[in-house]
């Protein structure tokens, strides 16, 4: 009598996969329970995250006895930035420039604002000779750091209509161009780092309700593009 051929197992995963799957599930449950009953040390978590970030970028981590390369470079950069700001501030705080120039910190970076009476005659785009030394002092400080600059011209709301300047847009733009060219030709600032804008009367500092306010609005701004983070660092230092 012929023996009955045993039935073949249905196709599927090997039997050992069942045991392996159970083991993986148990390990996962163990770590979930461990996490649920543990207290997270926030400071240690931050250190681990910074250490990993430093390792990925070539640093050595931030644990005791170690300083990441990225942190070292950031601190050195901020120190240079702070030094530049203080040098610019010493120039602008000069007694002779009182009421004619000011330095402020904005979201974009540092803005040095020169009033019209320091740089130009009313209705003119020719830089006054007495303004050259001041512009060159500022330019030399900035050239060492090679920050991007935005030179912005502004006017008041009094209309102008001449062959050279059909409107305040042309006057403000050409004033910005003249300042930029002086920085490039006399100071040696890299032209690819400079951009120019002429806003006319459309970005006043104060309402154009009287001559005093109009004089404040007629200006040329040198905006040193540094970004929000570094500007906030300088603002905190300046507030101390």
Confidence of residue 25 (pLDDT cuts 50, 70, 90): confident
Does residue 207 lie in a domain region? yes
Does residue 43 lie in a domain region? no
Q: Are 131 and 121 in contact (CB under 8 A)?
A: no
CATH number of the domain to which 172 belongs: 3.30.1330.60
Does residue 56 lie in a domain region? no
Return d(Cα 172, Cα 164) in angstroms, integer.
12
pLDDT given at position 192: 96
The strand order across the sheet containing 109-115 reads 101-105, 109-115, 219-225, 149-154, 194-198
* pTM score: 0.66
Return d(Cα 137, Cα 114) in angstroms, integer.
13
Does residue 32 lie in a domain region? no
Does residue 16 lie in a domain region? no
At 95, list the tokens: 């007694």
Number of domains the chain is built from: 1
Strands (E), the chain: 101-105, 109-115, 149-154, 194-198, 219-225
Q: Are 199 and 152 in contact (CB under 8 A)?
A: yes
Neighbours of 229 (CB within 10 A): 9
Percentage of the residues of the chain whose pLDDT score is greater than 70: 64
Query: Which tens digits make up the pLDDT trace of 52-74?
Result: 454 444 444 444 455 555 566 66
Does residue 34 lie in a domain region? no
Residues in the chain: 240
Does residue 126 lie in a domain region? yes
Domain residues for the domain of 223 are 79-239
Confidence of residue 101 (pLDDT cuts 50, 70, 90): very high
Does residue 52 lie in a domain region? no
pLDDT given at position 73: 62
At 174, list the tokens: 């050409």
């Amino acid at each position: 009598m012929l023996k009955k051929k045993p039935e073949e197992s249905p196709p599927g995963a090997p039997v050992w996969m069942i045991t392996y799957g159970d083991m993986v599930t148990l390990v996962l449950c163990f770590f979930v329970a461990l996490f649920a009953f543990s207290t997270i040390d926030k400071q240690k978590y931050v250190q681990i995250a910074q250490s990993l970030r430093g390792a990925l970028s070539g640093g050595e981590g931030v644990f005791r006895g170690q300083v990441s390369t990225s942190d070292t470079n950031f601190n050195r950069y901020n120190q240079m930035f702070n030094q530049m700001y203080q040098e610019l501030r010493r120039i602008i705080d000069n007694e002779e420039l009182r009421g004619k120039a000011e330095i402020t910190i904005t979201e974009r970076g540092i803005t040095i604002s020169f009033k019209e009476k320091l740089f130009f005659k009313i209705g003119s785009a020719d830089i006054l000779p007495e303004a050259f030394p001041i512009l060159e002092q500022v330019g030399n400080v900035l050239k060492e750091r090679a920050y991007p600059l935005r030179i912005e011209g502004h006017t008041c709301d009094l209309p102008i209509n001449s062959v050279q300047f059909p409107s305040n847009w042309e006057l403000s733009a050409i004033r910005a161009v003249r300042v930029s060219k002086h920085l490039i030709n006399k100071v040696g600032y890299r032209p690819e780092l400079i951009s120019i804008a002429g806003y006319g009367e459309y970005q006043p500092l104060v309402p154009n309700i009287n001559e005093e306010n109009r004089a404040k609005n007629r200006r040329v701004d040198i905006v040193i593009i540094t970004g929000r983070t570094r500007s906030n660092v300088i603002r905190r230092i300046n507030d101390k």
